[in-house]
Amino acid sequence: MKTLSRLGLAAALALACAAPGLSVAQPPPAAVTVPIKNFAFMQMSTTIATGGSVTWKNLDGEPHTVVSTDGLFRSGGLDEGESFTFKFIRPGVYKYVCSIHPQMKATIVVR
Amino acid sequence: MPPEFDRRGALRCLGLAAGTLFGLSGGVLTATPLAQAATRAVGKPLFVQLSDTHIGFNKPANPDVGATLDRTIDLVNALPVQPALILHTGDITHLSKAEEFDAARQHLLRLRVTELHVTPGEHDMIDGTGAAYLDRFGQASGGRGYYSFDHDGVHFVALVNVQHFKTGGLGAFGDDQLAWLKDDLSGRSSSQPLVLFAHMPMWTIYEPWGWGTGDADQVLALTRRFGSVTVLNGHIHQIVQKTEGHVVFHTARSTAYPQPAAGEGAGPGPLVVAPDELPRRLGLTSVGIASSPGLTTLSDTALA
């Protein structure tokens, strides 16, 4: 038992160490969902591949919007359960807010 | 707390109850129970403030915001002396949808008082340009949103602080509107009572939730020489009031749903309360000007 658990721990450690290396080697995902919950975008920074899409889904009882600070994209009002998707065709760093609650801020990185 | 809002239960509980009346004289605020005030000369009712009707909202915090708005309108229509004006301090709709604006307008047409003045909330400007709002309510301001008018010797200013949010989430008026206001107030007698109304609070009640207006101090500086200033807002769905010198600040209840007190919970979203509690959290504010100069009175009435 003791040996087995040691082996398991070693395997877990090996995986944990390998994971960051893998993520660097792999291209960013082509599609990501960012939930909106408790007056926050659940990922402060989201990285996707050029040509990829981000979908925001509002899980709050209060409506939210997704509005880029440079005016590139703007959702309508997203009521509870509603989604908005935007396809990013150019690399860059895109900051966005909820225009109803502008204290809610996050970033999309397109590589 | 029941999972479902009991509409019939809530409607059974709807009824006029005593609120509190606030009189301001020489910058001193005194509270009087509304029942007592009704038997005393407190001046003629100048206007009633409605706020945050959120037509289109249908979640458990209040699945029938049309019914609670109608009940509020019934209270106004039943006042023995009708006020001259109705002010609506924004969030007429929940999602700026055309059908929500159209429904709201039909509810508001039930008011016996026909002169309605409005200023938008951020829920009315979700489309970014505010076109849906301004198409319907923009005539008075020439499509700008902010405007002023005089009634009975009182100067009213409708301001818009939901279009130029500052980083961090506070509302803002913006330079164009501030320049317009400076021009609008210049040349007016300092003894003319001022009523300023906007959607978001014009003093910082709770910054992490954006409950304030970043450049409100510039507006207040322009009003400093006036002897009587009343500042009315909505947005936070509860009554918060303070007096600072000659300025009375007052936020009104919503007619749709309550929100938590500042900092309680994850954010300023709809607060679900027990059905019999809901009418006590909704209501209107009525403001009168007494015949003696500089005396304004504010009273809040809940639906129950």
More confident residue, B173 or B23: B173
CA-based nearest distance B96→chain A, Å: 8
CA-based nearest distance A71→chain B, Å: 10
pLDDT score at B165: 76
A100 interfacial to chain B (CB closer than 8 Å) = yes
pLDDT score at B300: 86
ipTM: 0.72
Residues of A in contact with B168 (CB under 8 A): 102-103
Q: What are phi and psi of B222, to 5 degrees?
A: -70, -20
| Confidence class for position A21, pLDDT limits 50, 70, 90 | very low
pLDDT digits (tens, 9 = 90+) for A43-74: 999 999 999 999 999 999 899 999 999 989 99
pLDDT digits (tens, 9 = 90+) for B85-135: 999 999 999 999 999 999 999 999 999 998 999 999 999 999 888 999 999
pLDDT score at B257: 96
Nearest CA in chain B to A67: B128
Determine whether the interchain pair B166/A102 forms a contact, defined as Cβ–Cβ distance below 8 Å: yes
Please tell me which of the candidates A38, A60, A102 has its beta carbon nearest to residue B169.
A102
Is the per-residue pLDDT at B292 higher than 80?
Answer: no
Is the per-residue pLDDT at A96 higher than 90?
Answer: yes
- Angle, helices B65-77 vs B98-108, to 10°: value is 30
pLDDT score at B13: 30
Determine whether the interchain pair A39/B269 forms a contact, defined as Cβ–Cβ distance below 8 Å: yes
pLDDT digits (tens, 9 = 90+) for B56-79: 999 999 999 999 999 999 998 988
pLDDT score at B246: 87
The mean per-residue pLDDT over the stretch B4-11 comes to 36
Determine whether the interchain pair A100/B167 forms a contact, defined as Cβ–Cβ distance below 8 Å: no
Determine whether the interchain pair A102/B123 forms a contact, defined as Cβ–Cβ distance below 8 Å: no
| Confidence class for position B294, pLDDT limits 50, 70, 90 | low
CA-based nearest distance B12→chain A, Å: 26
Is the per-residue pLDDT at B8 higher than 70?
Answer: no
Is the per-residue pLDDT at B84 higher than 70?
Answer: yes
CA-based nearest distance A32→chain B, Å: 24
Determine whether the interchain pair A76/B95 forms a contact, defined as Cβ–Cβ distance below 8 Å: yes
Size of interface A-B (CB pairs under 8 A): 61
The mean per-residue pLDDT over the stretch B181-197 comes to 95
A69 interfacial to chain B (CB closer than 8 Å) = no
